Amino acid sequence: MDFPIFHLDLLGNRMLIAITAIIHVLINHPLAVGAYPLITLLEWWGLRKGEPAWDKLAYRIVFIVFIITTTVGALTGVGIWLTTSLVAPFAIGSLLRVFFWGWFVEWLVFISEVGLIMAYYLTWKRFATPRLKRLHVAIGATLSAFSWITMALIVAILGFMMNSGAWTQDKSLWSAMFNPLYLPQLAFRTPYSMFTAGLFVWFCIFFVTKRDDPIRPRAIRLVAIWTLAWLPFVVLGAFWYWRSVPASMQANANVALLTQAFSQWHGMFIKIIGWTVAAVAVIALIGAVRPRALPRYVLLVPFVLAIWLLGHFERVREFIRKPYVIADYMYANGVRVAALPVYQRDGILPYATYSAVKQATPANALVAGHEVFMLTCSRCHTTAGMNNVITKLEHIYGREPWDQDALVGFIQGMHLTRTYMPPFPGNEAEASALATYLKSLQRPAPAASTAPAPAAVAAAR
């Protein structure tokens, strides 16, 4: 209502954020959070054994991780913020007001993290004496801690969006931080980062060592054991999270009932966890016992499974928070729960700063309908691309010309049948204008169905 609307009708606005976020998390978890501790372990191991080969290997891998984390990794993190500012300014603006101090501390930790990353990489060769080398390992350990803390702080915000917990009553940062889904989520993401780092570093070993290099099988064995060691924690974390979600959903007044789609996805999560853990366990066991037995492409299997797992996890997380963008406070289209009755009584257009019309009438139905669509639907839906409303309506009403009254009824009641949808924040006239606009976008029915149906033709004979 209060910001000029940026809308991508083909890609969809959500997709813009999703692409940025998924790239970020796929780099953040295995590389920033998981790989730095593992690389530090390799370095420390080399120092302890007095074998420079370990150090050389760790340095080659850290170069790859350094380049990726300080470019794509760091920037996609900022990118989530920038794209959200564009697509859902009401949400990010409100989250910033709730989490200011969390964000501020996270910033300080992030500065330290990036400073430590650069110190760790750029001083590697210069810190050559045993004393300096120990210091260097200490830098690596500190860096690992800071990388984890940045993730730990941000995850609080993700949990908050799904279940705001006691915050809706007391509005305190503490309640917001320790929302019911925070710790279970962190308990899953932490070991996930560690075991995927194992897979990533393992994969790197093939590229930074020669086939007959004696360090290769020894490094693979160490990394395989690391990967294996984290697996039980992945299972425990995932189980805790999986158990917490429905409880948290039931507490959510508007979504008292788990939708079928949710139950399906929820069940799927456990299956993907099972497959991923099994595949990783088998491969890591072979790696630990016979490091030379596995060719590099076999690693792609657990890798793809792990990406699928995380993708599914994030998707379900996004699904769970619906219809809200901030649970119990603000709907995904930016309408605050408390302001909804005003819009349902007066309409949303009189309060929409940038709308071309201030009132929906039969005469301006198309223009008003378009404005209402942009204000109330366009944050999630397009008219022609990803998640487009026209296809959705075709699923319900088919390709015959839609009935105006049925559409109006559907618009006003869809939150009752589809609990992930926010209630329509407009009055009767606006629902009608929106229906008119949607009907104007309906694709003509295919030629076959406009012709008389065969049965009707037969009957006419």
Partner 1 sequence: MTTDFLATVPAFLAQITPDAVPVPHDLELPLPIPEWALKLWIVPLFLLHIFFVNLMVGGALMTFVNEIIGLRFPRYDRLARCIGETVTVNKSLAVVLGIGPLLVINLLYTVHWYSANALTGHAWVLLIPLIITVFLLAYLHKYTWETWTGPRKGRHLLVGGAVAALFLFIPLIFLVQVNTMLFPDKWSQVKGFFTALQIGNVFPRYFHFVAASLALMGLFLSFWFGRKGFPIEKKLPEFTRAELRRHFYKWTFWVTCAQFAFGPLVFFTLPMQGITAQVLLWIFGAATLGIVVLGLLWREIHETDERIGHRFWPIAALFSLVVLGMGQGRHFYREAALAPHKAAIERKTAEFRSIELGTRMRIRTGMGAGDALTAAPSGKKLFAQTCAACHAVEKPTAAPSLVEIHTLYADNPAGIVTWAKAPGKKRPQYGQMPPFAHLGEDNLSLIAAYMLDVGAKAAAPAEAAKP
335-374 binders of partner 1 (CB under 8 A): 336, 338-339, 341-342, 344-345, 351, 353-354
Q: How far is CA 315 from the centre of its chain?
A: 6
Does 16 interact with partner 1 (rule: CB under 8 A)? yes
Which of 144, 190, 276, 419 contacts partner 1 by CB under 8 A?
A: 419
Which tokens is 46 given?
A: 């080399």
- Of 157-186, binders to partner 1 (CB under 8 A) are 173
Question: Which region among 79-87, 284-292, 360-368, 374-382 touches partner 1 (by CB under 8 A)?
Answer: 79-87
State the first-to-last Cα distance of the chain, in angstroms, to the nearest integer.
58
- Quote the CA–CA distance of 8 and 303 in Å, as a whole number: 32
Which of 22, 53, 72, 251 contacts partner 1 by CB under 8 A?
A: 72
Question: Which region among 124-132, 250-258, 366-374, 448-456 touches partner 1 (by CB under 8 A)?
Answer: 250-258
Q: How many CB atoms sit inside 10 A of residue 134's CB?
A: 12
The least CB distance from residue 39 to partner 1, in Å, is 18
Does 100 interact with partner 1 (rule: CB under 8 A)? yes
Which of 36, 40, 58, 76 contacts partner 1 by CB under 8 A?
A: 76
The least CB distance from residue 430 to partner 1, in Å, is 12
Which tokens is 375 given?
A: 């204000």
With vertex at residue 351, the alpha carbon angle to CA 346 and CA 352, rounded to the nearest 5 degrees, is 130
With vertex at residue 165, the alpha carbon angle to CA 162 and CA 169, rounded to the nearest 5 degrees, is 130
Does 142 interact with partner 1 (rule: CB under 8 A)? no
Does 101 interact with partner 1 (rule: CB under 8 A)? yes
Q: Which residues contact 405 (CB under 8 A, 6 or more apart)?
A: none
8 Å CB contact between 186 and 233: no
Question: Which region among 160-168, 267-275, 300-308, 332-340 touches partner 1 (by CB under 8 A)?
Answer: 332-340
In degrees to the nearest 10, what's the CA dihedral of 171, 174, 177, 181? -90
- Of 40-69, binders to partner 1 (CB under 8 A) are 67
Q: What is the CA radius of gyration of the chain?
A: 27
Does 81 interact with partner 1 (rule: CB under 8 A)? yes
The least CB distance from residue 173 to partner 1, in Å, is 8
Does 217 interact with partner 1 (rule: CB under 8 A)? no
Which tokens is 244 given?
A: 């917490």
Question: Which region among 240-248, 291-299, 333-341, 360-368 touches partner 1 (by CB under 8 A)?
Answer: 333-341
Which tokens is 185 given?
A: 């989520």
The least CB distance from residue 186 to partner 1, in Å, is 22
By C-beta, is 15 or 281 nearer to partner 1? 15
- Quote the CA–CA distance of 97 and 99 in Å, as a whole number: 6
- Of 181-200, binders to partner 1 (CB under 8 A) are none
The least CB distance from residue 351 to partner 1, in Å, is 7
Check whether the bond before 323 is cis (ω within 30° of 0).
yes
User: 3-state DSSP: the chain helix, strand, coil percent, rounded to 5?
Assistant: 75, 0, 25
Residue with tokens 């530090």: 40
Specify the amino acid at residue 93.
G
The least CB distance from residue 414 to partner 1, in Å, is 8
The least CB distance from residue 49 to partner 1, in Å, is 30
- Of 370-399, binders to partner 1 (CB under 8 A) are 395-398
